[in-house]
Chains A and B, each alone.
Chain A
Amino acid sequence: MSSVLYDAQGPKAKRRNVVISVVFVAVVAAVLWWMYGVLDEKGQLAWALWEPFFHGEAWSTYLWPGLLNTLKAAALAMIIALPLGAALGIGRLSDHAWVRVPASVVVEFFRSIPVLVLMIFGLALFSEYTNVSADDRPLYAVVTGLVLYNASVLAEIVRAGILSLPRGQAEAASAIGLRKNQIMRFILLPQAVTAMLPAIVSQLVVIVKDTALGGAVLTFSELMASVSPMSAYYGANTLASFTVVALIFIALNFSLTSFASWLERRLRQGKKSTGAVVTADAVEELSTPGEHVEGKK
């Protein structure tokens, strides 16, 4: 579509593009040069500050344990939130109002609250009402916050997955005499699980990103929280530490995002399935309170 917005370029347009490109590069280069100047002046570019990341120590002491904690929290949150989300999502599709309404209220409530608020609540909850040790509390709190929030988002993903299937599937199943619960278990859910895989992987990216909140506010020792001890130990290499941590996050999340879009393409082209899919982009809409997914006509 984008190429439709402008004509094929003649010699004049090509010349103009070159001029714009040169100006653009000049502006970007000027900003980079200014940054380089400041960093150089503050000594942030000294090799000694960057060198630790080429040795095992920085990785084995700071980065690797941090990354492990990030992955642990994300994996725990996903594993606990998935069944909860599935239950809530199916509950919202129930024919009985006494199941549907409470499930909807829970989902709408937790979708409209920031995950940080839920984490802070979790931390206080564990310190007041349980005897979880102070060292473990941040992990528990982060996972609790993530589970409460993501179960409601996953509930919407499950619901969208079931609604994305062609109506004929449920109709055919009830025509051969299956009950509602059999239709859900044998016909709809198995297909919906495949359809919503891209969205689930995409939500995993959100979870990984949100674990960093625990590091910043709840003293959870995840990847990003390793920045301050690291820069203190290696002589105030704040910029270098941030760069390395950001690069790890980008690498991790970018591979997850690419995996999600690969899954999406595969499902779309699949000949064995109905081609129903909950896209990775849909996640944004599904995590918004008040948004509703429409079923297929």
Chain B
Amino acid sequence: MFDFLEGYNLWEAFWTTVQLTVLSAIGSLIWGTVLAAMRVGPVPLMRGFGTAYVNIVRNIPLTVIILFTSLGLNQTFGATLGSDQIDTTNFRLAVLGLIAYTSAFVCEALRSGINTVPVGQAEAARALGLNFTQVLTLVVLPQAFRSVVGPLANVLIALTKNTTVAAAIGVAEAALLMKEMIENEAQLVLISAVFAFGFVCLTLPTGLILGWVSKKVAVKR
């Protein structure tokens, strides 16, 4: 029944999906935190930059961003991201595009998390003489992170689903393999079911596990 799977490396395709997800998740967590810090910081110019970045990036389709990394950054600017193989370059470009896009959502999630920390916490920290960086990194962010595990998990799952967009620039991940298989094999419904099942296996447990974690670590107020 599953003969059609022969000759295709499903594991490798899904492994690429996982790699795209994990690398982009790490990158966007870092860049998103920096953006969030900019948006709540005391320097008006950086606040403006953060706000503009989030509003622009959130309103552009991810597809446009990913295609731009390939047609714009790679073919116009000549950025190869330190690789002379086109496959590796495309993979890295896709990660870059995913980070640029996802960090806007991470930033917004974190900002809403910062808003859940009671005002008294920051006020007490300032009364002790801590400066902005100390207030943010020692008092507010640790509490904020604990309350945004849930929202960040949602962003992570959306990111997992979004990695399929990398197919648009030829990264050999799950959706691209699915397209190729459907074009060559006859079992349309079965192939689709296999890939659907693959994605359900990636997204549903992530949601359940992180949902449990978020309840566990949330600050009870």
Q: Is the CB of A24 within 8 A of B45?
A: yes
Question: From residue 123 to 138 of chain A, which have CB atoms closer than 8 A to chain B?
Answer: 124-125, 128
Interface range on chain A (Cβ under 8 Å from partner): 35 or more
A4-B122, A5-B140, A120-B182 given; A288·B207 CB < 8 A: yes
CA distance A120 to B165 in the complex (A): 12
Q: Which has the most chain B C-beta neighbours within 10 Å: A20, A117, A208, A287? A: A117
Contact with A along B149-161 (1 / 0, CB 8 A): 0110111011001
- 1/0 per residue, CB under 8 A from B, across A192-230: the answer is 000000000000010011111101110000001001000
Give residues 49-73 of B contacting A (CB, 8 Å).
Answer: 49, 55-56, 58-64, 66-68, 71-72
A117–B67 CB distance below 8 A: no
Q: Is A224 within 8 A of B45, CB to CB?
A: no
Verify A288–B157 contact, CB threshold 8 A.
yes
Binding stretch for chain B, among A53-61, A84-92, A94-102, A250-258: A250-258
Q: Is A44 an interface residue (CB 8 A)?
A: yes
Main secondary structure, interface of B, reads helix
Asked if B22 is an interface residue, CB under 8 A from chain A, the answer is: no
| Nearest CB in chain A to that of B175: its residue | A116
Contacts of A290 in B (CB 8 A): 204, 207-208, 211
A224 nearest in chain B by CB position: B64
From A110, which residue of chain B is reached at the shortest CB distance?
B196
Query: Which residues of chain A in 13-44 are interfacial with respect to chain B, using CB atoms and an 8 Å cutoff?
Result: 13, 17, 20-21, 24-25, 28, 35, 38-39, 42, 44
CB within 8 Å of A: which B119-169 residues? 119, 122-123, 126, 131-132, 135-136, 140, 150-151, 153-155, 157-158, 161-165, 167-168
* Residues of A bordering B, CB below 8 Å: 1-2, 4-7, 9, 13, 17, 20-21, 24-25, 28, 35, 38-39, 42, 44, 108-109, 112-117, 120-121, 124-125, 128, 205, 208-213, 215-217, 224, 227, 238-239, 242, 245-246, 249-250, 252-254, 257, 281, 284-285, 287-291
Q: List 16 A-B contacts (CB under 8 A).
A: A17-B43, A20-B46, A24-B49, A38-B77, A112-B157, A120-B182, A120-B192, A211-B61, A213-B165, A216-B66, A238-B71, A242-B72, A249-B60, A254-B59, A287-B154, A289-B200
